[in-house]
Each structure stands twice: as C-alpha cells, then as structure tokens.
Amino acid sequence: MTNKKKYIGEVEESKAGNSALKVNQGIEQPPQVNPSFRKYKRVKRILTISDYVNGILAGNVNVLSQAITLVESRLPEHQDLAQQIIEKCLSLGKKSVRLGITGVPGVGKSTFIEALGMEVVNKGHKLAVLAVDPSSERSGGSILGDKTRMEELSVQKNAFIRPSPSAGSLGGVARKTRESIVLCEAAGYDTIFIETVGVGQSETAVHSMVDFFLLLMLSGAGDELQGIKRGIMEMADAIAITKADGNNVQKAKLAQAQYQNALHLFPQTESKWTPIVLTCSSLEKTGIGEIWETIKNYETHARENGFFEKNRLRQSKYWLFEALNAALKERFYDDSLVKTELKKLEIEIENDKISSFVAASKLLDIYFKKK
Amino acid sequence: MTNKKKYIGEVEESKAGNSALKVNQGIEQPPQVNPSFRKYKRVKRILTISDYVNGILAGNVNVLSQAITLVESRLPEHQDLAQQIIEKCLSLGKKSVRLGITGVPGVGKSTFIEALGMEVVNKGHKLAVLAVDPSSERSGGSILGDKTRMEELSVQKNAFIRPSPSAGSLGGVARKTRESIVLCEAAGYDTIFIETVGVGQSETAVHSMVDFFLLLMLSGAGDELQGIKRGIMEMADAIAITKADGNNVQKAKLAQAQYQNALHLFPQTESKWTPIVLTCSSLEKTGIGEIWETIKNYETHARENGFFEKNRLRQSKYWLFEALNAALKERFYDDSLVKTELKKLEIEIENDKISSFVAASKLLDIYFKKK
C-alpha cells in the first residue's frame, strides 16, 4: 500500500500491466484528480478503453478503481473516456441487488455495513460499497470517517469499498455513484450497498438507484429522530432498529412493535411488499442474517411480480429526465442576466409588488429574447 | 338564476352596473370560456381593470367570479387582464387562513366541507372554497359532483364556492387556484378552503399553497387506504377520522389512537407543530368545532414562532421557481426534434445500449446546437 499521489491512467513504464497499477486496494483514498494534469510530463502509457473494459470484466480492482476515478473526474477528456467505458459495460453485470442504507449519524451505520457486508461476503457474494453524500452535507458516520470500523470488511477479497466522491453537488455525486454501480456490476459485484446519511436531500437520489431501501433507526423514539427527514420512513422497504444489545434489547423490541404498527397504517407500496421492522446488533452480530434474508425475500417477491425490472427501467428513465432537467435549469440560472434580474424579482415578490407567476414570465421573456 | 351562457366581461347594456352581471351566485357553473369569442358580435361594454379591482374590493361576488374566469381563460388577452387585476389585488387581503383538505373519494369530503364551512361562517368568517384537481384526475367526491350535498353552505351570503377549472394540466390548475386565492382574499374572504382528491399529484401543489393541511381518513385501516399516496400522511398538520357516528364511533376512536401513535413516531415538523388526530361526524355535526379550534390553535402557534410568514414567503418563491422550471421544460420537451430523438433514446436506454446520462447529453447537444 502506498500513499503516493497518482495521476489517473498513469502506469509506471517499468511495471506496465494491470498488476502494477498503483491504486490502493480495499479502502481507498479519496479520488485525487489533479486539475493541472496536462502541465506535467506525460506518462508513458495510458490505458486504452479496451484495457479498462477488459480489466473491469476480469474483476481487476485496480482498473475498476481507476475507471471510477475517471467517472469522478471533472476533466472533459476523462469524462469522455469514462462514458465510453460505461457504455461498453452497460449491457453486462445485470444480476446485482442494489441496497440503499440510510440513517442519521450515531445510528451505527458503518458498523452495521461491516456486519451485513461480512454476512454477504461469507455467503459467497461479491460486495461493492458506494456512498452518495455530497461533501458539504457530510457529517459523522460516513464511510471515510469510519474506515477504522470497517477493518474486517475492507480486507476481504470479495469486498470493494469506495468512499463518496470528495466534492460536488448532490446531482453530480448521485450521477457518479450511479455510473460507478454500472462499473461495479460489470466487474462481477452481485451485491451493491449504497450508503447515505439520512439528513439531507440524498435519500431520494439513493432511493432512485436501488432495489431495496433500508432505514436504520435507534430504539428511542425521541430526539434522535429529529435528524431524519420527513418522508424517508415511507420510502423504506425495511427498518432495522440498531444497537439491540445489552440492556437495550427490550427498548429495541418495543420500538420494533411501534414502528411495525405505524408502517401498517401506511398505504400499500407499489411493489406490494409490506415493509418489515427488524432489530439487530452489529456488535453481537444478531439479527444481521434476518436482515439479509428479508432483502433476499424482497428480491424474490419483486422479481416474481415483475416490479423489480419495472422499477429498474423506471429508474433509468428517471435519471434521463433528471439529467435533462438539471442541465436546462443550470443553463438558465447560471445566466448572468437571469441572476441579476432574479434577485430583483425575488425582492419584489417579498414585498407583494408582483405575483410569482408574473415574475416568472418576466424573467423568461428576458432570457429568451436575449438569445 | 340563469343557465344562459355568458361571455367573459359581458354586461347587458340595459342593465349595466355590477348588480346586473349575470353570473350565478353560490355554486357556480364550470367556467365557460368560449375559444371563438372574437367571432361573435362584440358586447357593448367590457369591464375595465378598475371596474374589476373595485368590484372585488367591494366584495362583489359577481365581479370576483368573472375575474376568476379571466384567470382560468386560456386567451392571451384574458390572461393579460387577469395578471393586471391580480397585481393590483396582491398587496391586499393578507389576513386569510388557507386550509388544504384532502381525502380519497368516499371519505365524505363534501359533507365535511359543508359542515366545517358552516362552522366557519357561523363564527362570522367569510369563506371561499376552491379546488385543485385537473379534470383528468377527477373522480367522485369533487365539489362539482357533490354540489347537492353542499346545499346549506352554498346559499350562505358569506360563502363562495368555486369548482375546479374544468380543464388543464396540474401545473396550470394549481396556478389558477393560487391566483384565485389572491382575488378571494382581496374580496374579503378571510378563510380559504382548498379541496383536493387525495389520489393524485395535486397534494404537493396544495400543500405548497396552504397554511394548514388536513387529511381526512376513514376509520378502517384496510383497503380504503390504498388510494392515498404514500407521503401524504407526513404532510398532514391534522388527520380527521370521518364518519365517527352510529356504531362507527368505537372504530373511529381506535383509528384515532393508532394514527396518533404513528404520528408520534414521525420526525418533528419544521413548524414545531405536533400533528393531531381527531374524529368527527359531518352527519351529527360532532367534532367539527374541535377541528376548527385545532386550526386556529395552529395559526396562533405558527404566527407566534414566525413559521406562518416564513412559510408564506417560501411558498411564493416555490411558485416562482415552479413556474420558471415548468416553462423551461415545456419549451424543451415540446420541441419537435427533441420529441423524435427522445423516443429513440428511450428505446436505447431500455435495451441497455446507452446510459441515461449519455442519452441526456446527446439530446441537449441536439437541442442547443439547433438554436
């Protein structure tokens, strides 16, 4: 393992070949994309698209990591390369189950992911752990901060843990994570965990890229809950009450019953799956197997009634329209004239000088006349 | 009362003056906007903007109705006129409380609105009842279909009941309703009910234009619930279990306890208000007063902690951005080249030939290069 900074695609001439790519295995460093890459002496050999694709298909972790780094890069040439790799990988690796895991800091997310991850790996699966959390929203409990707690999982041959991209908007990070899923699946990972901190906007994004959404909760139904955004509970396919160990077991069982009752009052899900509440202890490794079984039961259920594939297809369309709409908005709101006028109009709205709709049409007139 | 078709702004020459405007009072006909208006012989006198504004400020129901009809019209000249009227009315009538009421067909929404409406009117308030439901989404239980059940309320001098615009997209209808609120408030209505059928997309729109969101529910927690969209329960400031009469009282009380428990498990609302579950009978007129009291308590609470005004301001901004984003999207997706290419790209996505993001950037390139 080395901490030396590496540039993307760089291969030392003397050790050319996949085995010599110097990207750390297991837990990785945050991606180091050097924006002044071109200023430096060109390295001798850059991987070609086929190098990447073949490396990924062969399950080479180093190549996979480098490809994800390309996905995360903001340089146009890296983006081009990344898109071509993704396109080649797209029709491969469709057999995965994608699991979204969320919960506020303090719920024990990292230790839970380690425990469930070990369960999955021990069952013979190949597991990739990704994250969706724009750096600005990050707080404790993220993969990177807790890497010491994933010690056991991170050294597993069949586990690939990748921290969240270190910067970017939610939309950008979500896109990168979704594209990374494609690469991981092509590399043979049949189980993908996507972690998110349950306090921001990222849950909807994660919910729109996973098959199963797991919400981790603490047993106390009091102040701890305030961090969870309203609406997240209704997205959950299962709730796991964590830290059900020691003298916390009774409290956890009580919380389980309460949440189960609450979920029964919710309208039925489109998948026709009844959300389940479970308890577990990552420390004592209890309840972890049941959670994995629940996820597999869901998979069987959703594949049999056709929801699984239908949902995947809908998610693909969702991201198409998300990307389109985001680009349209970005172009508009980044326009300097729009910026200036928008500020003025917002003040007029605050003072009841203009209605929201009239303000909108004024701004649109300004924008489209300019073109 | 006359059912004769009237054109907007028409005043019979012989009876010119506000009192002679032939718009039905109380329950109205659906707006009759004649698209071929210009083909007909011009009427002798059209109301000016000041006629409209003065009429509205004087609380003249006929003028108010005509102004709303202008708001609902698709003719550009009506829209222009409507916008000018709204702009003049904007800074007036800010003292209202806006209440959103939703519930699936069968929950007894119309009889409830009549019962609560009578309570409000009897307390000396002026009440306007509007609706947000695009016609395509409408099913039973809408104001128009149930007008016979609002017999008592509809003849009240201080009640103004306006059915949902008879056509249009959700965005369009929501906009029209929001603009109608401004006119109703300027006309002195201090309480506004906005009704919506709890099965579509319209709840978010209604939630974004009201101060208080009331969800009507039936006591059985079974099949009846399936119509309610997930996520709506978490928007509610109060849930009212309807039809708590006869031998249904016990069941309603049980449902009340269950929902109250469930709501306690939800994260705290931003308004710091704890949602309340109540029971009522529109038939026996029980529990209706308590619901109104709850709404007034909420108002006091939210005004005191500043949330009321903050939320209103945020809603104005929300509709500004909604209108902007909707217009940007409409322009893009209505483009004929975009339409053709989008169809092709969607098929490619379905067949895993292209990723959602690459498809999006291809389409954007096509659109913006054409310009």
pLDDT tens-digit profile, chain A (371 residues): 344 444 444 433 333 333 333 343 444 444 445 544 444 444 445 789 999 999 999 999 999 999 999 998 888 899 889 999 999 998 876 679 999 999 877 788 889 999 999 999 999 999 999 987 654 333 333 444 444 568 889 889 999 998 766 556 677 778 888 999 999 999 999 999 999 875 566 788 889 999 999 999 888 645 445 456 667 888 899 999 999 998 899 999 988 988 888 787 777 788 999 999 999 999 999 999 999 999 999 999 999 999 999 999 999 999 999 999 989 999 999 999 999 999 999 999 998 889 898 899 899 999 988 66
Say if residues A187 and A95 touch (Cβ distance below 8 Å): no
Determine the 3-state secondary structure of B334 from DSSP.
coil
User: What's the pLDDT tens digit per position in B115-158?
Assistant: 999 999 999 999 999 987 654 333 333 444 444 568 889 889 99
Separation between Cα atoms, residue A307 and residue A271, nearest integer Å: 6
How would residue B28 be classed by pLDDT, with cut points 50, 70 and 90? very low
Interface test with A, best of B230, B273, B309, B366 (most A CBs within 10 A): B230
Mean pLDDT, chain B, rounded, equals: 81
Q: Compute and round to an integer the Cα radius of gyration of chain B.
A: 23
Q: Which domains does chain B have, with CATH numbers?
A: 44-91 (1.20.5), 93-305 (3.40.50.300), 319-370 (no CATH)
- Give the amino acid at A324: L
Query: Considering CB atoms only, which of A231, A324, A358 is closest to B234?
Result: A231
Separation between Cα atoms, residue A237 and residue A135, nearest integer Å: 27
What would the two tokens of residue A296 be?
């597999």
Say if residues A64 and A187 touch (Cβ distance below 8 Å): yes
What percentage of residues in chain B have a pLDDT greater than 70? 76
What would the two tokens of residue A323 be?
């990307």
Phi then psi for A176, rounded to 5 degrees?
A: -60, -40
CB contact under 8 A, B323 and A357: yes
CB contact under 8 A, B83 and A352: no
Say if residues B67 and B181 touch (Cβ distance below 8 Å): no
Task: Name the residue in chain B with its Cα closest to that of A352.
Answer: B91
Query: Considering CB atoms only, which of B87, B230, B320 is closest to A360?
Result: B320
How big is the CA angle at B326 (ends B321 and B331), to the nearest 5 degrees? 130
Show Cβ contacts of residue A351 under 8 Å, excluding neighbours closer than 6 positions: none
Distance from CA of B275 to the nearest CA of A (A): 13
Determine the 3-state secondary structure of B157 from DSSP.
coil
Alpha helices in A32-169 (DSSP H): 49-57, 61-72, 76-89, 109-122, 151-154
Q: Which of B22, B16, B76 is nearest to B48 (CA)?
A: B16
Task: Name the residue in chain B with its Cα closest to that of A232.
Answer: B231
What would the two tokens of residue B161 be?
């009941």
Report the predicted TM-score, pTM, of the whole model to 2 decimal places.
Answer: 0.73
How would residue B45 be classed by pLDDT, with cut points 50, 70 and 90? low
Alpha helices in B212-280 (DSSP H): 249-265
User: What's the pLDDT tens digit per position in B162-203?
Assistant: 876 655 667 777 888 999 999 999 999 999 999 987 556 678
Show Cβ contacts of residue A240 under 8 Å, excluding neighbours closer than 6 positions: A112, A214, A215, A216, A217, A277, A278, A279, A280, A287, A291
User: What's the pLDDT tens digit per position in B289-308?
Assistant: 999 999 999 999 999 999 99
CB contact under 8 A, A361 and B231: no
Does B311 lie at the interface with A, CB-CB under 8 angstroms? no
Query: Considering CB atoms only, which of B259, B324, B352 is closest to A265?
Result: B259
Interface test with B, best of A199, A209, A352, A370 (most B CBs within 10 A): A352
Interface of A with B in 45-104 (CB under 8 A): 83, 86-87, 90-91, 94
Say if residues A113 and A129 touch (Cβ distance below 8 Å): yes
- Using CA atoms of B22, B27, B32, B33 in order, give the dihedral in degrees to the nearest 10: 90
Determine the 3-state secondary structure of A294 from DSSP.
helix
| Number of CB pairs, chain A paired with chain B, less than 8 A apart | 168
List, as one string, the DSSP characters of A7-40: -TT---GGG-SGGG----SSS-PPP---TTGGGS
Query: Considering CB atoms only, which of A318, A358, A360 is closest to B324?
Result: A360
CB contact under 8 A, B357 and A319: yes
Interface test with B, best of A80, A358, A371 (most B CBs within 10 A): A358
Beta bridge pairs of residue A190: none
Task: Name the residue in chain B with its Cα closest to that of A358.
Answer: B83
ipTM score here?
Answer: 0.75
B265 vs A338, higher pLDDT: A338
Separation between Cα atoms, residue A49 and residue B91, nearest integer Å: 62
pLDDT at B8: 42
Separation between Cα atoms, residue B371 and residue B368, nearest integer Å: 5
